[in-house]
Structures are given as structure tokens and as C-alpha cells.
Structure 1
Amino acid sequence: MIQITGLSIARGSKSILKQANLTLFPKEKVGLIGHNGAGKSSFFASLLGELPVDAGNIEIPQAWSVAWIDQEVTANDTPVIDFALEGDRALHTIRQQIRHAESSGESAHIAHLYEQLDNLDGYTAESRVATILHGLGFKPEDLQRNVGEFSGGWKMRLNLAKVLGSRAELILLDEPTNHLDIEAVLWLAQWIRQVDCTVLVISHDREFLDEICTHTVHLHGEQLVKYTGNYSTFERTFAERAEQVDQANRKASAEIEKLQRFVERFKAKATKAKQAQSRVKRIEKIKLIETYQVQAHAEIPFLEPHKSPDPLVVLARAACGYNAEKPVISGLNLEIRPGDRIGLLGSNGNGKTTLVKSLVGDLPLLSGDRVEGKGLVVGYFAQDQIESLDMAATPLQHLARVDRQATEQQLRDFLARFDFRDEKVRQTVGNFSGGEKSRLALALLAYLRPNLLLLDEPTNHLDMSTRQALVNSLIEFEGALVMVSHDRHLLESITDTYWRVHAGQVSPFDGDLEDYANLLKKESSQTDRSKEPAKATQGQPTDRQAAHQRLKTLRNQIKKIEKQLEECTAQRQLADTALHNLDYSKPDTASLAARLAHERETAHRQVEDHEFKLLELMLESETLESELGL
């Protein structure tokens, strides 16, 4: 287990933790939460030994390997599959030793090395890592491409794949969903739930945290407070504790006030002096409990549009893309009308951003017509929106460029609504955090009073409370909006309709995000079955000895999953029985019912995951048995 005792760390003059304690047990999936600037990434740095500890101890078992996401990729000439395999350090070392031994003819040593390779599941490594890469959105033909051919966002996915393929005992993930689409986020959540190691995740995606976390650690008030359960459970528990603290403090304050009145009244009277002094000591002993405060968030208000044409924008017989010979989307006929609230679904590379840019007018159509309604005002937030800000300019200067007629006070008043106040409006943007830059970019959009908002991943740099502020504002927004986001809470809260961008077409999706997740599972299963005969050419062992070894591994994994499935099914049945037998006449039954319902839901989710994994393993096992004639 990981044992943290009396930990104090600081960044310069800013204290991050002070005498903090925390225990993490093997295989726990832990969400690390806290407002932007609380020090979550600094805490990760201290776990990795990159940030000096001022006091206290961090004890991680020496036998544990630790994996984390690098922020840079330098191996540009390395094939994707080889780059991802390097994350498994033990396997990478053994393979290097085998290559050296084979070149030098050390036959006796080679046999021992191959035995070690088998113990590390080396024969299935390519297949295992290829599955991870596929889950993160890479196509089969991408695996032999060089890393340098991919954009920055895809390189971050490669770094994530490297970590997931590491087989480390402790995995640290800092905002792993930022460069992913919904499809990859859903896959990653399933992977984390099933992996047999301890995972510590920093994320502001509440749906993601709800799906993966067995525990939540709140970095708050320079302490690490651990809660059992996912983010929603933490939120309820935190609110309950805050209410309890508030009640206790109100009671203590009333007692202090009563005692203080007695002291003031009788401190000058000799006959009451002793009692007054006693009450002074009593006042000194009463301590108010530190208030539980949720970090206040900035507002992100969008003003009512001046007017809205109907329709706002129309694409007719349109083809979108960058090459007339190979359009990304074709046969497009759609219109955006006032009040439309549309979420775009589809994996990265299918054309969601291309469609948004075509709607904005930034990307000319390859064919067809784009017609704007008279009075259309577009507010467009691109994926790289904050990079378009002038890092040497201040918020005041940015807004003055939008409206040269406004007075400084008018500009200050508007920026204050987005929590840019006092000297903050005169600080250069280059010194802002990612969240502050995003907030400023949204403020510049809001000032235009758009009647059509086109938002492409607007939450990547926003913390939980600011994301909720954006949700609240967009719910009240009176114009139309089209959104691309991997944040399912945001999509579910503000959109009414989904369009799926897939295979060069845009079509309405009649369902919610749960239906979409089920569709993806179904399509993935069909794709996997269609590729079964070709598995031997995609990194699977081709000789009979290796195939027998793979079959042995599969059978062991099937037995393990079957045992886990049996245990989870039993846990679910126990929870069902307990819920059925509850006596609701007792006062504490409601809280007990909530706990049992959570346990039942957790067990049910694990049953579904194990059943899905078992099916995959059985299909592969049957295919190998057929090939071997067993």
C-alpha cells in the first residue's frame, strides 16, 4: 500500500499540503479532486520525487513500478506500436537482451530469456498494446506509422497508451480525457475499472470519475481527505458534512454570544467576577470548526441575443473537407434554427471539427451552398481557442479590440462578471492559467451577444465548478448552439438533439449517450468478430508453440474472470436481499438504503464488465482452438 504521513509540500511561497496523511490500498481506483490551483499536479510531482518534500514521508512499495503521462514525445522516428510497447519497461529490457543474445550466439542464455519473456506475457504484448491503441482511436494502419507523423493531441494519446501498456502497479493520470473523444473516454473508463493495479486520476469530468472511482481524495485546506465512493458520493457526503459543521458552528456561536453577554454584564461586579472569569475561560475553549467551503466559481454569463433570424444558417447539397477529391463529409443538407441545441457525436477524425468550421464559414465548402440568415452573429470557440489569444496583452486590451467605442469602466464591469477584477484586468494573459485563458476566451465570445454558439471542446482547461458555471449559463442561453465535447455531463445537461458524424455522413442520432455507448459496444464487437481470421497477421503468434502458449494464457484468464464474475454476482445478490429486507420504520434506514443501493450498482457494473471481457476471451479462445484443431 501507499502510506503518506505528515506530508508538507510547497511551490515557492505557496503551501500545498501541511501535515497531510493518506493511505491508498492496492487496486483502488482513486479520483484526486480540488479546485484549479489547489496543488493536485504538485502532489503528483511529489509522488514521483520531482517536487521536494518539506516534511513527512511518502512510502511506496519498492517492488512497485510507477507509470505516468509524459508531457512531451521525442521519439518521432519510432513506429507507433514500438513506442507504445516501450511503456512496459521489464518487457522492453528482456527483448533488448534477447536481441543481443541472438546476435552474439548465446544459446543457453537465450532459452532462459525466452522463459522470462513468456512469464511477462511477451508473446501477446503486441496484441495487448494494439488493443489499447485501438481503444484510444488508432486505426490498424496507424500502428506502423512513425510517431512524428501525428499531431500534438494524438501524441498525447500515444503517451497515454504507453502508460496503459506499462503493467505498472501504480498509474498516475493527470487529465487523461482532455485529448480524447467520447468513444475513447468510454473505452478508457472500462479499461481503468478492469485493470489490476492502483490508479490515481486527476480529472474534472464528473461522469468519468463516477464510472471509475472506488474512492475519492479531496485536496482541500492543505489536507488530503479520503472518501469511499465515486465523485457523486463524495459530493453528497461533503454537502452533508458541510451542513453538520454549519449547524455545530451556529450552536457554538450562540453559546459564545450568550457567555459574552454575561461577561460584559457582570465582569465589573465583585460578586460575579469569579463566574465571569469562568465564562471567559469557557469562551476560549469553544472552537468553531473550520468551515467546509466549496470553491466559489466564476460566472460565465451569455447575454440575450439582439435578434435571431430563422433559419440561422443552412448547408445545402454540401461537401466539407480540405480536398475536393476526398471530402470528409458529403451529401450534407441541414439547417440550424433558433432554439436548436445540438451535440455532435463521432470519433476523432470523422469530421466533427470540419463540420463546425463549415458552419462558421471559416472552411469554404468543397461544393454546395452555405446560406446565412440576415443578422446571424456567430460565437465560435475552437479547440485551440486559447492559443489565439495575445499572450502579451491584458484582458482589458483584448476586450477593447472587440469594442473600441466602450469606456474602460464599461469593459471592467463586463470582465468583472467573468471574475476578472481589480489588477487582474491589467495582467498579461501569458501569466494566466489554462482555466483563466479559457474563461477570457468565453468572455470575448459572450460580448458579441451571439445568436449561434459553436463550441468545440470548451471545457478542456476548466475545473469542476467552472464547468458547472458554464452548464448553468448555457442552460439559460437563448440562442442556438452546436457543441463538440467529451464531457458527457455538459452534453446531457444542455443539448436536446444529437447528430452523429460518421463514415462521411451526418445523421440524427435518436437516443441518449447511454444508447450511444451501447451502440459503440455493439459495433466494436462486430468489428472484432470480422477481424478474427486475420488475427495471426496482426501481431498474434503464428507458430503452434506460441499459439498453445497463448491458449494457455487465455484459459487462465477465463478462469480468473469466471471467479470474479461469480463473486460480483454474489455481492449483487446480497445487496438485493438486504435492500428487500430493510425495515423502513427505523430512522437510519434511508442512509443504509442509499449505501446498499450504491453497493448494488457497483456490483452490477462489475458483473457487466466481467461478462463483456469473458465473451471477448472466449471468442479468441475458440478461434485458437479451431486453428489448432482442438
Structure 2
Amino acid sequence: MIQFNQVTLARGSKTILRDAQATLFPKEKVGLVGLNGAGKSSLLSALLGEISLDQGSIDIPKNWNLAWIDQEVQDVHLSVIEFAMQGDRPLLAVREALDKAQATGNSDALAALYEQMENLDGYAAESRVASILAGLGFKTGDLKRKVGEFSGGWKMRMNLAKVLGSRADLILLDEPTNHLDIDAVLWLEQWIKNVDSTVIVVSHDRDFLDEVCTHTLHLHHEKLSKYTGGYSAFELAFAERAEQVAQQNRKSAEEIQKLQRFVDRFKAKATKAKQAQSRVKRIEKIKLIETVSMDQHVHLEFLDPHKSPDPLVVLNRTDCGYQIDKPILSGVGLEIRPGDRIGLLGANGNGKTTLIRTLVGQLNLLQGERVEGKGLVCGYFAQDQIESLDMSSTPLQHMLRLDPKATEQQLRGFLARFQFTDDKVNQTVEGFSGGEKSRLALALLAYTKPNLLLLDEPTNHLDIATRQALANGLLEFEGALVVVSHDRHLLESTVDTYWRVANGAVMPFDGDLNDYAQVLKQDNTATNQNQGANTSSNRDRQQQRQADHNQLKKAKSQLRKLETKLPNLTEQLAKADEASLTLDYSSQSGQQKAIEVTQNRQRIADELADLEEQLLELMLEIEDLEAQLGLQ
């Protein structure tokens, strides 16, 4: 288990933990939650030993292996499968030792190492890691491609695959869903639930935390508190605790007020002075409990949209993509009407972003037509939307560029809807957090009063409170909505219908996200069955290799034994030949002796010929086995 013993941790002048106590047991799946800036990432670094504690200790079993997601990707020259398998350090060590033993022909070492491979199920390791990569969205053809060929988001998936394939006892995951689509998130949830490791995960996806976590660790006001269950269970328990604290504080405040009235009234009277002094002491002993509060409540408000045409936009027999001979989507026919609230489902790379950019009109059609209604106003939030912000400008300057005729007071009032108040409106964007940049981008979008909102992963930089605020704001938004998001809570809160983007087509999906998860599960089962057949075949090959090695060892042992007999038989035959040269056939006894000598020589010759034939067969067998094992 992991034990936090009176842990005090500070970063600079900021104290993150003070005298923290907590215990995590093996195989628990723990969500680490807290306000942005509370120190969650610092706590993970302390678990890894990357930063020192100011006081106390974090005790982790010495024999435990730890794995965590690297923020950079090295070894870009490796193939994807080679890179991902580097996480399995025990297997890598055995494989390296096997290479050395094979190079030196050390049969005894090879036998022991093959046994270790069997114990690690190493013969199926490549298939196991390939299955993880498939779950994270990599196609079979991607596995042999070089790491350097992929974008940053896909490289982070490789780092995640490396961790998941590590066999680690403790796995630390910091925002593992940030670069995943909903298909991969659903797969990751099942993997975490089934793995035997202890897992500590930081995430702003409340549905993800609810699904995978057996416990929640809350970092709050320099304290560490453990709750049973996922985020929703924690939120409820925390709210109940906050209410209990508030009730106790109200009772205490009422008692203090009552005592203080007595003191104020009678402290000057000699007959009551002693009683007044007693009540003063009682007041001093009554302590209000530290206020417990959840994350600050955030509001994100959208303006009423422009009047909507009907339909808003129509695609007729449209091919969408970037190369006319390689469309990503073909024959797309759909329309978006006022009031539509649509969630797009499908794995990354299947064309969700391509479809949204086509709907917006940013992407030229390869074939077909796009018809937009008169008065259509699109509000498009791209995955990289925050990169379009001017980092040297302030929120107020951004707003003035949108509407030069507006007064500063009007623009300040609007920015306040998105939590930009006071001096924040005059601070440059370059100093903002990712969440603040996203809120500003959403504010700029909302100000245009779109009647069609198209949001492509709008929650990537938002914390749980702001995600909830976005969901609430979208619920009140009266225009049409198309959303791509791996955050199921946002989808379930804001959309009414789903379209599935897969296999080059866009089709309505008749069901909710639970139904979609079942469809993916069925697809994965079929894929796993195929991979299982490949795994079985691979295991059979590896087991045959071990059997060949054992047979090689046995053949060499037999060869050595037979070779010890060869000199003796050769010497016996030479002596029998010498005896044959001195035979005397002149007498009956001489003839009898000659028969015995001749028969003895023939017996020795036959035995020697048989031995040489066995030696030849063994040497040929050894040669074949060494060729099969690559030892020649």
C-alpha cells in the first residue's frame, strides 16, 4: 500500500500539503481532484520522487514498479510498436539477455531465459501491446510506421500506450484523456477497471472519474481527504460535509452572539462581572470550523442568437476531404435545422473535424453541394482555437476589434459573463492559463450571436467547474448545436441526437452513449478474436522455438556422450585388425581362433559404423535446429 505520513509539501512560497495523512491500498483506482493550482501535478511529482517533501514521508513498497506518462517523446526513429513495448521493462531485460545468450551460444542461460519469457507471457507481449495501441486508435498499418511520422497528439497516445503496457504496480495518469476521442476514452475506462495495478489519475472529465475510480483523493486547503467512490459520490459527500460544517458554524455563531450580548449588557455591573467574565472565556473557547466549499461557481452565458433560417445548412451528395482522389467522407447528405442539437461520434481520423469544417464552409467540397440558409451565422470553435488569439493583446482589445462601436462598459459587462472582471480584462493573453484562453475564445465566439454553434473539443483546457458552466450555458443556448467532444457529461447534457462518422460515411446513430459503448464493445470483441488467433499462433511459434531449443540441448548432450565412445571403439578395431594379421590357419585350433577374431572384429566394426551413423544423424539434427533458432 501507499502511505502518506504527516506530509508537508511546498513549492516556493505556496504550501500544497500540511501534515497530510492518507492510505491507498493495492489495486485501488484513485481520482486525484482539486482546484486548478492546488498542486495535483506537484503531488504526482512527489510520488515519483522528482521533488522532495518538506516534512513527513510517502511510503511505497520498494519492490513496486512505477509508470507515468512522459510529456515528451524520444526515440522517434523507432516503430510505433517498438516504442510502446519499451514500457515493459521486465520483458525488455529478458529479451536483451536472450540476444546475448544466443550470440554466445550459452545453452544453459537460454533455457533459463526462455522459462522467464514463459512466466512473463512474453510470447504474447507484442500482441498485447498491439491490442492497447488499437484501443487507443492506432490502425494495424500504423504499428510499423516510425514514431516521428505522427503529430503531437498521437505521440502522446504512444506515451500512454507505453505506460499501459508496462506491467507497473503503480500507474500515474495526468489528464490521460486530453488527446483521446470518445471511442478511445471508453476503451481506456475498461482497461483501467480491469488492470491489477494501483492507478492514480488526474482528470477534469467527471464521467471518466465516475466510471473508473473506486476512491477519490481531494487536495483542498493544504489537506488530503479520501472518499469512497468516483467524482459524483465525492461531490455529494463533500457537499454534505460542507452543509454539516455550515450548520455547526451557525450554531456556534448563534451561541457566541448570545454570550456576547450578555457580556455587553452586564460587564459594567459589579454583581454580574464575574458571570460576564465567565462568558468571555466561553466565547474564546468556541471556534468556528474552517469553511468547506466546493470549486468556485462559474457562469458562461451565451447571447440570444440571430434569427435562424430553416434549414440552416444542407449538404447534398457531398464528398469531403483534402484530396479529390482520396475523400475522407463520401456521398454525405444531411441538413441542420433550427433547434437541432447533434453530437458527432467516431474515432479520431474518421472525419469528424472534416465534417465540421465542411459545414462551416472552411473546406472546399470535393464533390456535391453545400447550401446555407439566408442569415446563417456560424460560430466555430476549433480544436486549436486558442492559438488564434493574439497573445500580446488583452481581452478588452480582442472585444474592441470585434465591435469597435461598443463602449468599454458594454464590453466589460459581456466579458464578465465569462469570468473576466476587474483588472483581468486588461491583462495580456500570454499570461493566461489554458482554461482562461479557452474561456476568452468562447466569449469571442458567443459575442457574434451565432445561430449555429459548431464546437470541436471545446473542453480540452477546462476544469470540471468550467465544463459544467459550459454545459449549462449550452443548455440555455437557443440556436442549433453540433458538438465533438470526448467529455460524455457535456454530450449527455447538451445534445439530443447523435451522428456516427465512420467508414467514410455519416449516419444517424439510433441510441445514446451507453448504446454506443456497447457497439464499440462488440466491435472490439470481434477485433480481439482476430488478434487472439494471431496471439495463439504467435504463442505456438514461440513454444515451438522453446521446444526446438530443448531438443537442441538434448541432441548436443547425446552427441557428447556418443563422442566419448568413439576413441575406444576405434582403438578396439585397430587391435582387432592387428590380431587378424597374425592368424594361423594351419591347425584346427588356429582356425577356431581365426573365426573368433574375425567375428569379434566384425562386431566392433558394426558397432563403430552404428555409432558413426548416430553421430552423423545427431550432427545433422543439431545443424537444422541451430538454423531454425538462428544460432548459426
Q: Do the structures match in fold with TM over 0.5?
A: yes
Number of the residue aligned with 1:226: 226
Structure 1 residues 547, 366: closer, same or farther in 2, change over 3 A? Answer: farther
The SS at the match of 1:333 is strand
Number of the residue aligned with 1:248: 248
Number of the residue aligned with 2:88: 88
Structure 1 residue 130, shift from structure 2 partner:
1.0
Number of the residue aligned with 1:134: 134
Indicate if the aligned counterparts of 1:127 and 1:540 stay in contact, CA closer than 8 A.
Answer: no
Structure 1 residues 198, 544: closer, same or farther in 2, change over 3 A? Answer: closer
* 1:533-612 matches, cutoff 5 A: 533-535=533-535, 540-545=539-544
Structure 1 residue 106, shift from structure 2 partner:
3.1
Cα distance in 2 for residues equivalent to 1:298 and 1:514: 29
Structure 1 residue 90, shift from structure 2 partner:
1.7
Structure 1 residue 141, shift from structure 2 partner:
1.4
Cα distance in 1 for residues equivalent to 2:55 and 2:350: 50
Number of the residue aligned with 2:516: 516
Structure 1 residue 189, shift from structure 2 partner:
0.7
- Greater displacement, 268-277 / 232-241: 232-241
Structure 1 residues 533, 127: closer, same or farther in 2, change over 3 A? Answer: closer
Number of the residue aligned with 1:600: none
- Greater displacement, 99-108 / 11-20: 99-108
Number of the residue aligned with 2:355: 355
Structure 1 residues 126, 532: closer, same or farther in 2, change over 3 A? Answer: closer
Cα distance in 2 for residues equivalent to 1:120 and 1:391: 51
* 1:184-223 matches, cutoff 5 A: 184-223=184-223
Structure 1 residue 294, shift from structure 2 partner:
0.9
Cα distance in 1 for residues equivalent to 2:234 and 2:19: 22
Number of the residue aligned with 1:146: 146
Structure 1 residue 55, shift from structure 2 partner:
1.7
Number of the residue aligned with 2:46: 46
Pair 1:406 & 2:406 matched: yes
Structure 1 residues 363, 168: closer, same or farther in 2, change over 3 A? Answer: same
For 1:389, give the aligned amino acid.
L
Cα distance in 1 for residues equivalent to 2:274 and 2:143: 84
Gaps of 5+ in 1: 550-630
| Deviation digits for residues 510-539 of structure 1 (CA, Å, limit 9, x no counterpart) | 1111111111112222333456555567x5
Structure 1 residue 17, shift from structure 2 partner:
1.3
Indicate if the aligned counterparts of 2:429 and 2:437 stay in contact, CA closer than 8 A.
Answer: yes
Indicate if the aligned counterparts of 1:28 and 1:198 stay in contact, CA closer than 8 A.
Answer: yes
- Greater displacement, 409-418 / 265-274: 409-418
Structure 1 residues 277, 344: closer, same or farther in 2, change over 3 A? Answer: same
Cα distance in 1 for residues equivalent to 2:404 and 2:47: 49
Structure 1 residues 541, 293: closer, same or farther in 2, change over 3 A? Answer: same
Cα distance in 2 for residues equivalent to 1:107 and 1:470: 65
| Deviation digits for residues 40-97 of structure 1 (CA, Å, limit 9, x no counterpart) | 1111111112223222211111111110001111211101111111001121122122
Number of the residue aligned with 2:420: 420
Cα distance in 1 for residues equivalent to 2:100 and 2:155: 30
Structure 1 residues 127, 100: closer, same or farther in 2, change over 3 A? Answer: same
Number of the residue aligned with 2:67: 67
The SS at the match of 1:542 is helix
Structure 1 residue 112, shift from structure 2 partner:
2.4
Indicate if the aligned counterparts of 2:127 and 2:531 stay in contact, CA closer than 8 A.
Answer: no
Cα distance in 1 for residues equivalent to 2:99 and 2:388: 48
For 1:178, give the aligned amino acid.
N
Indicate if the aligned counterparts of 2:343 and 2:483 stay in contact, CA closer than 8 A.
Answer: yes
The SS at the match of 1:5 is strand
Structure 1 residues 15, 543: closer, same or farther in 2, change over 3 A? Answer: closer
Cα distance in 2 for residues equivalent to 1:79 and 1:207: 33
Structure 1 residue 101, shift from structure 2 partner:
2.7
The SS at the match of 1:81 is helix
Query: Which entry has the higher C-alpha Rg, 1 or 2?
Result: 2
The SS at the match of 1:528 is helix
- Greater displacement, 89-98 / 457-466: 89-98
For 1:19, give the aligned amino acid.
D
Structure 1 residues 165, 544: closer, same or farther in 2, change over 3 A? Answer: closer
The SS at the match of 2:450 is coil
Pair 1:181 & 2:181 matched: yes
Number of the residue aligned with 1:336: 336
Number of the residue aligned with 2:260: 260
For 2:207, give the aligned amino acid.
E
Indicate if the aligned counterparts of 1:9 and 1:55 stay in contact, CA closer than 8 A.
Answer: yes
Number of the residue aligned with 1:575: none
Cα distance in 1 for residues equivalent to 2:435 and 2:462: 5
Number of the residue aligned with 2:317: 317
The SS at the match of 2:365 is coil
Structure 1 residue 119, shift from structure 2 partner:
2.3
Structure 1 residue 496, shift from structure 2 partner:
0.5
Cα distance in 2 for residues equivalent to 1:460 and 1:81: 27
The SS at the match of 1:201 is strand
Number of the residue aligned with 2:172: 172
| Deviation digits for residues 424-481 of structure 1 (CA, Å, limit 9, x no counterpart) | 1222222211111111111111111111100011111111111110111000000001
The SS at the match of 1:471 is helix
Cα distance in 1 for residues equivalent to 2:157 and 2:546: 30
| Deviation digits for residues 172-193 of structure 1 (CA, Å, limit 9, x no counterpart) | 0011111111111111111111
Number of the residue aligned with 1:326: 326
Indicate if the aligned counterparts of 2:390 and 2:429 stay in contact, CA closer than 8 A.
Answer: yes
Structure 1 residues 103, 469: closer, same or farther in 2, change over 3 A? Answer: same
Indicate if the aligned counterparts of 1:455 and 1:484 stay in contact, CA closer than 8 A.
Answer: yes
- Greater displacement, 154-163 / 116-125: 116-125
Structure 1 residues 547, 249: closer, same or farther in 2, change over 3 A? Answer: farther
Cα distance in 2 for residues equivalent to 1:429 and 1:104: 62
Structure 1 residue 316, shift from structure 2 partner:
1.0
Number of the residue aligned with 2:500: 500
For 2:240, give the aligned amino acid.
E
Number of the residue aligned with 1:482: 482
Cα distance in 2 for residues equivalent to 1:293 and 1:257: 24
> What TM-score do the two structures reach when normalised by structure 2?
0.84
| Deviation digits for residues 137-165 of structure 1 (CA, Å, limit 9, x no counterpart) | 11111111111111111111100000000
The total of aligned residue pairs comes to: 548
Cα distance in 1 for residues equivalent to 2:300 and 2:48: 36
For 2:101, give the aligned amino acid.
A
> What TM-score do the two structures reach when normalised by structure 1?
0.84
| Deviation digits for residues 258-293 of structure 1 (CA, Å, limit 9, x no counterpart) | 000000000111111111111011011111111210
For 1:51, give the aligned amino acid.
I
Cα distance in 2 for residues equivalent to 1:86 and 1:384: 31
Structure 1 residue 547, shift from structure 2 partner:
9.6
Cα distance in 2 for residues equivalent to 1:492 and 1:135: 23
Indicate if the aligned counterparts of 2:131 and 2:531 stay in contact, CA closer than 8 A.
Answer: no
Structure 1 residue 546, shift from structure 2 partner:
6.4
Structure 1 residue 540, shift from structure 2 partner:
4.5
Cα distance in 2 for residues equivalent to 1:546 and 1:282: 83
Number of the residue aligned with 2:452: 452
| Deviation digits for residues 10-67 of structure 1 (CA, Å, limit 9, x no counterpart) | 2222221122111111110001111211111111111112223222211111111110
Cα distance in 2 for residues equivalent to 1:315 and 1:86: 46
Number of the residue aligned with 1:33: 33
Gaps of 5+ in 2: 549-632
Cα distance in 2 for residues equivalent to 1:432 and 1:297: 19
For 2:493, give the aligned amino acid.
S
Structure 1 residue 232, shift from structure 2 partner:
1.7
| Deviation digits for residues 112-137 of structure 1 (CA, Å, limit 9, x no counterpart) | 22222222221111111111111111
Indicate if the aligned counterparts of 1:343 and 1:484 stay in contact, CA closer than 8 A.
Answer: yes
Structure 1 residues 454, 375: closer, same or farther in 2, change over 3 A? Answer: same
Structure 1 residues 544, 409: closer, same or farther in 2, change over 3 A? Answer: same
Structure 1 residue 395, shift from structure 2 partner:
1.5
Number of the residue aligned with 1:389: 389
Indicate if the aligned counterparts of 1:298 and 1:417 stay in contact, CA closer than 8 A.
Answer: no
| Deviation digits for residues 344-400 of structure 1 (CA, Å, limit 9, x no counterpart) | 011111100110110111111111111121111111111111122222222122222
The SS at the match of 2:239 is helix
